[in-house]
């Protein structure tokens, strides 16, 4: 699972051969979240979270918005079209 992006102390990652819809796994030492990208233009939204506050996830969603096109392009390179 390569790190695609580092943002606000989090690692943004994608699994190879992962299931649709297009999404990222976001980790830091406190917890993780699974974020749907809503390709091709967003906005991202939370699918689930573990040991992160709703406020932390909200900040992550805002921080990911400028990177949606890059993340969607990476998803498409790794998995094909994004449904």
| Cα–Cα distance for residue pair 82/77, rounded to 1 Å | 10
| Cα–Cα distance for residue pair 79/75, rounded to 1 Å | 6
Question: Which pLDDT belongs to residue 83?
Answer: 56
- The model's pTM is 0.92
Question: Which pLDDT belongs to residue 82?
Answer: 57
Question: Which pLDDT belongs to residue 38?
Answer: 96
The residue extents of the domains of the chain are 3-77
For residue range 6-32, list pLDDT tens digits in order.
998 999 999 988 999 999 999 999 999
| Cα–Cα distance for residue pair 63/25, rounded to 1 Å | 14
């Amino acid at each position: 699972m390569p790190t695609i992006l580092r943002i606000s102390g989090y690692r943004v990652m994608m699994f190879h051969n992962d299931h649709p819809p297009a999404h990222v796994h976001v980790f830091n030492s406190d917890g993780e979240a699974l974020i749907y990208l809503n390709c091709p233009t967003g906005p991202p939204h939370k699918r689930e979270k573990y040991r992160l506050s709703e406020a932390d996830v909200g900040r992550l969603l805002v921080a990911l918005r400028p990177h949606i096109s890059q993340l969607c392009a990476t998803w498409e390179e790794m998995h094909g079209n994004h449904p």
